[in-house]
Amino acid sequence: MCVRICTWEYVTKFDGQPSESQIVKQLAEDFPQLDLKRVFLNLMISFNSVEGRKYRFLVMVQDETIARKHVLSKRLLPPQIWMFGWADEYLRQSSVDFGNGLFWKVENGTLFIQVFLEGRLCHWSEECGYEGPDEEVTGSVEEVADLVERRLERFRTFLKEDDLFSRGECFPEIEIIGPCRKPLFKRAAKDSFWKFVDLRECEKCPVVVWNVARKFRGLVLLAVALLLAAVLWTQNLFSVEDLFTPTDMQDVPLVELSAPPLFEIVEEKKSVRVSARRKAACNLPQIRLRGIVAPQLFVAEIKGTQTAKNQIMEKQTAPETRTFKVGDSLGEFVVSEIRRSQVELTCRDSVVSISAK
């Protein structure tokens, strides 16, 4: 396999925020034999524990020749992420409790294990040594199945004792069926978790992805450009007059200050009716908190109404269980903060706090 994936944990103080240099230094100490130029880290989740704040990363270690084989590709991703697409599709189409699940598969003598907590990938491991008769190794199918069962049994104990997974009520065990399928690989590649992963970026140094920070790179560059323009403007390095020639300015009509205001005439389509109306009040649907993983996400059961365009007819909607994170919309409200036992929602000037019972 050209890319190996595992889970790595980094611990700080409760109020600490690790830097990339600290993370790389600790990774080098934990894996001294590892070539850091072939490593890509993607943050899966962070949470509080007895020891402090824990950060769990997905570590991807690529083969030395993989980048050379995919020079013309748009992005370079681990080929086994199709299993992530399979598990994500299963969670969305089935009624697995709260989006929890332990997904496993034996392929080419390797046991793959993925653990999802409330619909979010929180663990990935790969272990070799599960070859069967197809790999020309002395060992029957029953022996391989026995090895897998014993490994899953040890993993069940780990889930019960782990600081994070012990919060989950149950983790159904689902075997990933079938070979690699291209649609599932594309499904995973479009997911927000893999959106910023490109293994070719590891050539000079290890890459650490903080999913939220990279999304706003364009906004940061735009802000810097606007700030630079403001500084140049204040120092008179250029002026508006330099942007126009005399021929452009000579036909501009003079407008008297006492003249009536000008109105822009807009041609409307027949099917469009424009009318000014007051802002509607913020309506909050019925919410029942089912679980909180502060400060990352929470699960809630939503029950409310859908109002027709004429504001007369209302249709009752069935309860729906969904997972929310900071910034998600909940009706007219937006999730602004997730605490240990409380969730805060905002809608314009309205702030609503919902506590877990």
- As a whole number of angstroms, the longest Cα–Cα distance in the chain is 98
Domain boundaries, the chain: 3-214, 286-355
pLDDT interval class at 237 (50, 70, 90): very low
- Cα–Cα distances in angstroms (integers) from residue 41 to residues 10, 53, 195, 211, in the given order: 12, 18, 13, 11
Strand-pair partners of 302:
287, 320
Question: Which of 3-7, 133-137, 335-339 is predicted most confidently?
Answer: 3-7
104: amino acid identity, one letter: W
Tokens of 190: 């479009």
Helix (H, G, I), strand (E, B) or coil at 92: helix
Q: What is the pTM of this model?
A: 0.56
Give dist(CA 352, CA 342) in Å, integer: 10
- Find the mean pLDDT for residues 265-293: 61
- Find the mean pLDDT for residues 248-270: 42
Note the pLDDT tens digit of each residue in 127-160.
988 875 544 444 577 888 889 999 999 999 999 9
Give dist(CA 112, CA 124) in Å, integer: 7
Assess whether pLDDT exceeds 90 at residue 6.
yes
pLDDT interval class at 113 (50, 70, 90): very high
Closest CA to 77 of 90, 91, 92, 58: 58
**Residue 214: its pLDDT value, please?**
41
Give dist(CA 327, CA 345) in Å, integer: 10
Assess whether pLDDT exceeds 60 at residue 343.
yes
pLDDT interval class at 26 (50, 70, 90): very high
Note the pLDDT tens digit of each residue in 212-233.
344 445 555 666 777 776 766 6
Range in 82-96, 165-179, 265-279, 325-339 the model is least confident about: 265-279
Sheet of 333-338: strands edge to edge? Answer: 329-330, 333-338, 342-347, 350-355
What region does 129 belong to: left with phi over 0, alpha with psi -120 to 50, or beta?
left
Give dist(CA 79, CA 63) in Å, integer: 12
pLDDT interval class at 312 (50, 70, 90): very low
Strand (E) or helix (H) holding 336: strand 333-338
Query: What residues have CB less than 8 Å from 89, skipping those under 6 apart?
Result: 184, 187
**Residue 279: its pLDDT value, please?**
53
